[in-house]
Amino acid sequence: MRAKFGAKLLAVVLAAGLSAACTSSDSGDEDQPAQPGGKVELSFWSWAPNIDKTVDAWNAANPDIHVTLSKQAGGGDIVTKLLTSAKAGNPPDLAQVEYQALPTLVSNDVLADIAKDAEPAKAKFAEGVWQQVTLGTESVYAIPQDSGPMMLYYRADLFDKFGLTVPKTWDEFAQTARTVRQKDPKKYLTTFSANDPGWFTGLAQQAGAAWWGINGESWKVSVNDAATKKVADYWGALVNEGVIDGKPMYTPAWNKALNDGTLIAWPSAIWAPGVLEGNAPATKGKWAMAPMPQWAAGENKTGSWGGSSTGVTAASKNKAAAVKFATWMNTDPAATDLLIKESAIYPAARDAQASPLLQAPPAFFAQQKDFYTEAKAIADTAVGFTWGPNVNVAYDTYKDAFGKAITGKTPFSGAVDTMQSATVADMQKNGFTVTS
């Protein structure tokens, strides 16, 4: 059964060489006529807090296309519910979907190719963000909503105390880690966490990793490509050298280390200020943000950690109207301002990142007046990435393999080899044709 899904996805990809008109959505042709009175009804699943206010604004201004919101749990829960509802023949018209979940839903015929109707929205987004909703093809499976560009957060007060400069390259970052240990053996620059595959994936993206892709009529899987091994062995060497901690993030011990200054930097994403405010409140006003260190001096790239999109289901009878709503919600200034203000979303749309609502810095970074100006510039440098249909397997394997590598002090590149083997085996088991 799954082989059929894989074949369908490949069929979509093979069609990508045709013109946009030929490859794009089947939206308009299959849309059902508006109900008597000209009103279209759309159902929408989302987990974003207070997104009902954005939906209400749409409904007030668009009496002919009414959207009914159903709040859902995020992450894997909404993916499971979408798969179940699609199989039962009653999915919503639209749903909020994390970028890494798109291939799973596409290969299971849940999401529609909306390329034709979504084409005008493409210019609204950075190239790297847009790639995440295309699976590396000319098809389009969602409209980007929020993004998670990565940057470096550091304790400005402790950097000043120890005479440290903000590292601009990963070589400088490594030397800074050593200097911190020399200055105060109780402190670490940061930690490498075996429980955060999304974090590691973002680091690998920055280095040029391409874990999934299409190779002719099959999937190409390269979780253990040269870029990923470079990143893995870089961090593994620092952990084994003892200059980077190897304890996991999001634990009471991690919170304490952030609060008491044991950890003085965190390569993270745009949403980090909220995490720091909740987990390390004693450090308010002491952090600063800078671009990520680069693998080569003069480069200007970053990866992404997190983010979601709005997909239109294949079963929707009003795809064109659904794309119209999704595009408005994620690109119109009034709508994106509501997402920023009410849902605490960092918008994926370029213009929205310059919203007046993002002029003042986060309260936790009140001293860094140019926080969002800097963030917008960094967001534009996020490299593209094609997700695969079994990200969950790669991520689960990451946790176990990197945990063992840290404990056993073995090369981290061995952990990505394990991820590669598990990911390929799972895809082949489920009927996908895979090359590596």
- DSSP annotation string for 2-28: HHHHHHHHHHHHHGGGS-HHHHS-SHH
* Integer Cα distance of 343 and 166 in angstroms: 32
| Cβ pair 297, 83 in contact under 8 A | no
* Integer Cα distance of 308 and 314 in angstroms: 19
Looking at residue 226, its amino acid is A
Give the angle 95-100-106 at the CA atoms, nearest 5°: 60
- Using alpha carbons, select from 205, 40, 219 the residue that is nearest to residue 129: 205
Give the angle 34-40-41 at the CA atoms, nearest 5°: 140
CATH number, domain 40-147+306-376, options 3.40.50.261, 2.40.50.140, 3.40.50.1000, 3.40.190.10: 3.40.190.10
pLDDT value of position 217: 74
The string of pLDDT tens digits covering residues 45-93 is 999 999 999 999 999 999 999 999 999 998 889 999 999 999 999 999 9
DSSP 347: B
pLDDT value of position 38: 73
Average predicted confidence (pLDDT) for the chain: 91
What is the pTM for the complete model shown? 0.91
pLDDT value of position 2: 37
pLDDT value of position 24: 41
DSSP 272: H
The token duo for 179 is 């200097």
- DSSP for 27-65? HHHHPPPPBTTTBEEEEEEE-STTHHHHHHHHHHH-TTE
pLDDT value of position 35: 56
Give the angle 356-361-367 at the CA atoms, nearest 5°: 140
Residues of the chain with pLDDT under 50: 1-8, 11-29
- Class level of CATH domain 150-304+385-430: alpha beta
Identical fold between 40-147+306-376 and 150-304+385-430? yes
**Helix extents (H) in 89-131:** 102-107, 115-118, 127-131
What are the extents of the domains in the chain? 40-147+306-376, 150-304+385-430
